[in-house]
Amino acid sequence: MGRRGRKGRNISGILLLDKPPGMTSNAALQVVKRLFNACKAGHTGSLDPLATGVLPLCFGEATKFSQFLLDADKKYLARVKLGVITDSGDADGEVLERRPVPEIDDVRLEEVLQHYRGDITQIPSMFSALKVDGQPLYKLARKGIEVERKERPVSIYRLEASEREGDELTLLVHCSKGTYVRTLVEDIGKELGPGAHVIGLRRLAAGPFDAEETFTMSELEAKNGNWQEMDQLLLPVSSAVKNWPMVELTDVTASYLRQGQPVQVANAPTDGWVRIFSESDDNDEEFIGVGEILEDGKVAPRKLGVT
């Protein structure tokens, strides 16, 4: 027997969800997928159940380009509780230890934060979604199993304390892909002395998207069934890489690129990745996909949409 076709509407685009607290990213995806009655959808990197904020959801053709959002920088606002250590590094975990919180002046705090700016390494939390032998670490942790994790390089571009009150503080974090904010908070708390865990986390930005562009679950539910209004909330597939340099091809050049051939493009960047468009019949731009500039200056196709 052949494979069954997917049920639902064949729509393409990116929906910027403001993920509510208390849901996994996958649970939020499934709710939104049902609301849109979409046949194909995926999210672009897990947010902890405790976290809220920017969660780009990709539908249809956009799923081909979700990796570029997974690989993008992120920005967070993390609320931190000093003096309490949990097994998961956040408020959803079990309290392991409570310690007195000494007086920590601004100079000492800045000195510690400076240690975590730039290129650093982290050991992923046992409560992360990182998989080992196909199993998410958090599932092993819930069974009381701990496995060895390798250090991973990440980059912290900005790390600032924006607020302080008693034994709580708020950190603004701009980081590379793969950064575990709870691990960052645990490490900072350990160096400060009393330990720490995350009590609130909001993703302010993911790649080219920020929180002001998002829609809440209640806003989506209010439009449930009104496909025309719901589809207007979707961003074009090309918005996943909207900050990349753009190159435009003629119809002839585009046909060669679609066949997998690198092509010469006038006034193209000299290196790096680009988003590729071609001129359509009505003179509007049509998104083809993304490519990379080769050493000889040609544009090589790397990921293309429907051809």
Would the pLDDT of 102 be above 90? yes
Please give the single-letter amino acid code of residue 86: T
Per-residue pLDDT, 282: 54
Q: Supply the pLDDT for residue 284.
A: 57
Residue in 18, 48, 90, 187 annotated catalytic:
48
pLDDT at 143: 73
Q: How far apart are CA 67 and CA 165, in angstroms?
A: 39
Mean pLDDT of 278-288: 72
| pTM > 0.85 | yes
Model confidence at 279, in pLDDT bands (50, 70, 90)?
confident
Residues above pLDDT 70, as percent of the chain: 96
Q: Each residue of 201-256: pLDDT tens digit?
A: 999 999 999 999 999 999 999 998 888 999 999 999 999 999 999 999 998 999 99
Which pLDDT value is given to residue 255? 92
At residue 3, does pLDDT exceed 80?
no
Q: pLDDT of 142-191, one tens digit each?
A: 777 777 788 899 999 999 999 999 999 999 999 999 999 999 999 999 99
* pLDDT band for position 6 (cuts 50, 70, 90): low
pLDDT over 50 (residue 26): yes
pLDDT value at residue 130: 73
Quick one: how far is CA 63 from the chain centroid?
A: 14
Half-sphere exposure of 243 (CA within 13 A, CB side): 9
Per-residue pLDDT for 2 more than 50?
Answer: no
Residue 73 has pLDDT above 70, yes or no: yes
Residue type, 35: L
Residue 103: predicted pLDDT? 92
pLDDT at 224: 85
Q: How confident is the model at residue 5 (pLDDT cuts 50, 70, 90)?
A: low
Residue length of the chain: 307
pLDDT over threshold 50, residue 125: yes
**Percent of the chain residues past pLDDT 90, beyond the cut:** 76
* Close Cβ partners of 179 (under 8 Å, ≥ 6 residues apart): 74, 122, 154, 155, 156, 173
* 290 residue type, one letter: V
Question: What was the pLDDT predicted at 8?
Answer: 86
Judged against a pLDDT cut of 60, whether residue 303 lies above it is answered with yes
- Tell me: pLDDT of 9 over 70: yes
- Please answer whether residues 300 and 292 qualify as being in contact, where contact means their C-beta atoms are separated by less than 8 angstroms: yes
> 284 an active-site residue?
no
pLDDT (0 to 100) of residue 191: 96
Which residue would you say has higher pLDDT here, 161 or 2? 161
Binned at pLDDT 50, 70 and 90, residue 267 comes out as: confident
Mean pLDDT of the chain: 90
Cα 213–214–215 angle (5° rounding)? 130
